Amino acid sequence: MSYGKHCSEAKDLKARCAVVTLSDTRTRQTDGSGKRIEQLLTEAGHAVPEYRIIPDEPEDLQGVLTELLGLDDLDAVITNGGTGVSKRDRTIEVVQPLLEITIPGFGELFRMLSWEQVKSGALLSRAVGGVAKGKLLFALPGSIAAVELAVSKLILPEIGHLLFQLRK
């Protein structure tokens, strides 16, 4: 794949992102994963005007995503939590129907990179990414190691190019 003459222009694009943590127990003080996503994004020059912690309930997530995806001043929404296989993990069931364009390579590469850290435990992740209502939407696991991996190795290196493509 060739990025052509627009590569440097795309790399310089800065995103306005929302971070959403799904948890029944975390607070702003104890949300290590959400704070780490926010930190990685802001250190890279992106803005995080929206940061929310909501109960791990599908209805709550549906409402928040509907609201955030409707905001004109956001480019991306990154959730963390609720991507496993327990009865409470329903983030993917809410996110996938919203995706108008899926980015299968995001989940595939995330699980491949996770293999290096957690071996066969990587198969438990159902992380997904794509485009919903013209915005990037990523659903990440809730661990700090998982969000560091996804954001630093996959999202940050490509977010400018993805935004460039969406804005064409």
pLDDT number for residue 16: 98
Looking at the predicted structure, is the pLDDT value of residue 4 above 60?
no
pLDDT band at 1 (very low <50, low <70, confident <90, very high): very low
Dihedral sign, CA of 82, 115, 105, 157? positive
pLDDT number for residue 9: 75
Name the token pair of 150.
């996804």
Percent of the chain at pLDDT above 70? 95
Residue 79 near residue 20, CB atoms below 8 Å = yes
SS3 string, the chain, reads: CCCHHHHHHHHCCCCEEEEEEECCCCCCCCCHHHHHHHHHHHHCCCEEEEEEEECCCHHHHHHHHHHHHCCCCCCEEEEECCCCCCCCCCHHHHHHHHCCEECHHHHHHHHHHHHHHHHHHHHHCCCEEEEECCEEEEEECCCHHHHHHHHHHHHHHHHHHHHHHHHC
pLDDT number for residue 11: 77
Residue 34 near residue 26, CB atoms below 8 Å = yes
Stated pTM of the model? 0.95
Task: Tell which residue, 105, 86, 166, 102, has the closest CA to residue 134.
Answer: 166
pLDDT number for residue 12: 84
Residue 15 near residue 159, CB atoms below 8 Å = yes
| Each residue's pLDDT tens digit, 116-136 | 999 999 999 999 999 999 999
Percent of the chain at pLDDT above 90? 92
| Each residue's pLDDT tens digit, 138-150 | 999 999 999 999 9
Looking at the predicted structure, is the pLDDT value of residue 7 above 70?
no
Name the token pair of 97.
């129907």
Looking at the predicted structure, is the pLDDT value of residue 48 above 90?
yes
For range 38-48, the mean pLDDT: 98
Q: Which residue has the tokens 């990440």?
A: 140
Which of 3.40.980.10, 3.40.720.10, 2.40.50.100, 3.30.1330.30 would CATH assign to domain 11-167?
Answer: 3.40.980.10
Name residue 73's amino acid. D
Residue 90 near residue 64, CB atoms below 8 Å = no
